[in-house]
């Protein structure tokens, strides 16, 4: 067996209603700390999803400041403003509560409060110096897996996405509370769920750091998600489906944190940066053409995955057709034209995608500029 490394969050707690018991669950981490800085977005706050957690923390004698300024594809300047707010509050522990953008922002807040290294110097892989504040992450969607990844992605300038990828971004505690996801709209459930499935698929075919542990997690996550996504979209109150989605997304996050994603994500990023297409939907749109492109070299791996979820005639064709069927079943957009992309946009999209070499190097088949444009063309 080839040598490999595997890292993940040291403490994971799962259970409905866990958010309301956070003070007890996190007591060893909180210790004598009193000032808790909670990062979220206005949607999560207005839905009341924070209420039980904040009430429990305050009943335990803690002082909680809530910053709900997070937006999708968080801009660098917005992240830095949140860091300043946390510093002024005197934060001693950071909680990220929400979707991927809230958790990604919370990671950087905790990190930038613990070191004097500028954010601009952290972009890339393993470039962080210093430490961070204690960090707890609580997802309210089943998709990004950010609660167990060492990655934070922000928007720099008008459209460019930059990532910080460093073990310092692994949280101290991830809390899964399926009750927080009961009210998710069908469209969000669908997009984030397919996003998590993409994480499993790309981790399993990752060219450089694929390993036995990430493989096992990717297969387990894919099976959970495949069995639950249509049920969760049909009945948002299906407790078992919601729990399976949340756990599947976490397993997917653990997998791709160690066996990084490839061309699907690289081609999805410009859709988010330029057209503000939600990350999960961007990945869902680009998955079929990239799978078809990769099939020449990755078909045996696609066969293993499709067999694992019970598809007949396993292979790339079966996996693509199943993912397309799911997208239709959950009523998610399947064409770029549906999200505002025209034929004239394809050259820029392809050029921007080719800049994401940190992900393209993981793709099982080398992606070229012409191939990237063809992938976009295929789903226009």
Report how far residue 79's alpha carbon sits from residue 351's, in angstroms, rounded to the nearest whole number. 27
| Cβ–Cβ < 8 Å for 65, 91 | yes
Q: Give 1's pLDDT tier (boundaries 50, 70, 90).
A: low
State which of 125, 145, 180 marks the end of a domain. 180
Same domain membership, residue 194 and residue 174? no
Own/partner contacts of 60-66, CB < 8 Å, gap of 24 or more, are 60/23, 60/24, 60/30, 61/34, 62/23, 62/30, 62/33, 62/34, 62/35, 62/36, 63/34, 63/35, 63/36, 64/36, 64/37, 64/38, 65/35, 65/36, 65/37, 65/38, 65/89, 65/91, 66/38, 66/40
Range of the domain at 233: 187-378
State which of 127, 162, 180 marks the end of a domain. 180
We report the CATH number of the domain holding residue 38 as: 3.40.50.1970
Is a pLDDT exceeding 90 seen at residue 324? yes
Is a pLDDT exceeding 90 seen at residue 158? no
With respect to residue 123, please indicate whether it lies within any of the assigned structural domains.
Answer: yes
Report how far residue 59's alpha carbon sits from residue 282's, in angstroms, rounded to the nearest whole number. 41
Q: Give 157's pLDDT tier (boundaries 50, 70, 90).
A: confident
Domain count, the chain: 2
Q: What is the pTM of this model?
A: 0.95
pLDDT digits (tens, 9 = 90+) for 198-216: 999 999 999 999 999 999 9
Q: Give 88's pLDDT tier (boundaries 50, 70, 90).
A: very high
With respect to residue 2, please indicate whether it lies within any of the assigned structural domains.
Answer: no
């Amino acid at each position: 067996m080839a040598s490999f490394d595997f890292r993940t969050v040291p403490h994971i707690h799962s259970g409905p209603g866990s958010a309301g018991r956070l003070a007890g669950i996190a007591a060893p981490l909180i210790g004598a700390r009193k000032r808790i800085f909670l990062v979220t977005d206005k949607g999560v706050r207005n839905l009341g999803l924070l209420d039980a957690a904040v009430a429990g923390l305050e009943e335990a004698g803690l002082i909680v400041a809530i910053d709900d300024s997070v937006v999708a594809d968080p801009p660098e300047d917005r992240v830095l403003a949140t860091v300043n707010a946390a510093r002024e509050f005197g934060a001693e522990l950071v909680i990220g509560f929400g979707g991927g953008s809230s958790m990604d922002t919370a990671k950087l807040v905790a990190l930038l409060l613990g070191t004097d290294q500028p954010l601009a110097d952290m972009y890339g892989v393993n470039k962080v110096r210093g430490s961070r504040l204690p960090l707890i992450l609580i997802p309210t969607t089943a998709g990004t897996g950010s609660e167990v990844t060492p990655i934070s992605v922000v928007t720099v300038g008008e459209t460019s996405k930059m990532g910080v990828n460093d073990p310092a971004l692994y949280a101290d505690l991830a809390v899964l509370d399926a009750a927080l996801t009961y009210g998710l709209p069908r469209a969000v459930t669908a997009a984030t769920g397919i996003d998590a499935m993409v994480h499993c698929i790309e981790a399993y075919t990752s060219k450089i750091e694929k390993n036995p542990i990430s493989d096992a997690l990717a297969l387990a996550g894919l099976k959970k998600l495949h069995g639950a996504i249509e049920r969760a979209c049909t009945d948002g109150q299906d407790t078992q489906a919601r729990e399976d989605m949340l756990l599947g997304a976490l397993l997917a996050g653990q997998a791709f944190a160690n066996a990084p994603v490839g061309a699907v994500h690289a081609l999805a990023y410009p859709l988010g940066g330029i057209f503000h297409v939600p990350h999960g939907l961007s990945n869902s749109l680009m998955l079929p053409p990239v799978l078809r492109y990769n099939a020449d070299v990755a078909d045996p791996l696609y066969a293993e995955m499709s067999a694992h979820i019970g598809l007949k005639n396993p292979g790339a064709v079966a996996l693509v057709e199943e993912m397309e069927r799911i997208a239709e079943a959950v009523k998610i957009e399947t064409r770029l034209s549906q999200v505002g992309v025209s034929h004239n946009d394809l050259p820029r999209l392809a050029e921007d995608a080719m800049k994401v070499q940190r992900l393209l190097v993981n793709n099982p088949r080398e992606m070229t500029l012409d191939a990237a444009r063809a992938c976009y063309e295929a789903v226009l």
